Amino acid sequence: MQTTSFSQFNIPSIVRASPPPTTTMLRRKTTSSRRLSPLYAVASSTSRRQVTHSMPPEKLEIFKSLESWVSKNVLPLRMPVEKCWQPIEFLPDPSQGPEQFEEEVRALRQRVLGLSNEYFVMLVGNMLTEDALPTYQTAINTFDGVRDETGSNPCPWAIWTRAWSAEENRHGDLLRTYLYLSGRVDMLMVEKTLQYSIGAGIVSVALNIFIKLFI
């Protein structure tokens, strides 16, 4: 089975770095020959400018005044959970019994044999973007006037943000499980990269994009 290593590709947002001490200690004894070299993919840790993004009072007032409009016109646009697709609907389902599950996994792995490495690099990039969802929710909750101050705030803006996060979460779940079952990518490297990425937070450029969505 061909395995794609992240280290083979030049991905702008991923840089190689010396492993941090804790990671070095945790290297698995089971490292096999398929791991080409002890490279570590991490989110860029370039220095960051402190971002201040509080709204001026007049804009804050606008967001507050829109709350009842959001309740009446935006919140109803949410699709009920029962009508949403779920990742398992597109994946081998273990609840169907071991034989059916194994057959579906084998079929999936057979199907992906013909796909190029570049395709999987694209999927991994997409998965990392989707799975960094905690960063996006955190970013939104830094915005004055719309933030979820308690984690379960009844403010309509906060309700919308939580619902959006819950819907988005399915995308990463689907991609991650698909890639895992495919056997075509180095999941250990992918998972480390994701942990670095979420731990690093969001850069000011991306945060500004989020801000513009609201202003």
- Residues in contact with Fe ion by CB under 5 A are 130, 168, 171
- Residue 193 and residue 35 in contact, taking contact as beta carbons nearer than 8 Å: no
* Least distance in angstroms from the C-beta of 171 to Fe ion: 4
Distance of CA 41 to the CA centre of its chain: 16
Q: Which lies closer to Fe ion via its Cβ, residue 61 or residue 167?
A: 167
Q: Which lies closer to Fe ion via its Cβ, residue 130 or residue 148?
A: 130
- Residue 109 and residue 181 in contact, taking contact as beta carbons nearer than 8 Å: yes
* Least distance in angstroms from the C-beta of 204 to Fe ion: 22
* Least distance in angstroms from the C-beta of 54 to Fe ion: 28
* Least distance in angstroms from the C-beta of 35 to Fe ion: 30
Strand, coil or helix: 70: helix
In the DSSP assignment, the letter for residue 35 is S
Q: Which lies closer to Fe ion via its Cβ, residue 60 or residue 166?
A: 166
**Cα 147 to Cα 156: distance, rounded to the nearest angstrom:** 10
* Least distance in angstroms from the C-beta of 190 to Fe ion: 17
Distance of CA 57 to the CA centre of its chain: 33
CB-nearest residue to Fe ion: 171
Rounded to whole angstroms, what are the CA distances from 158 to 24, 60, 109, 136? 40, 15, 41, 13
Residue 31 phi/psi, 5-degree rounding, is -50, 120
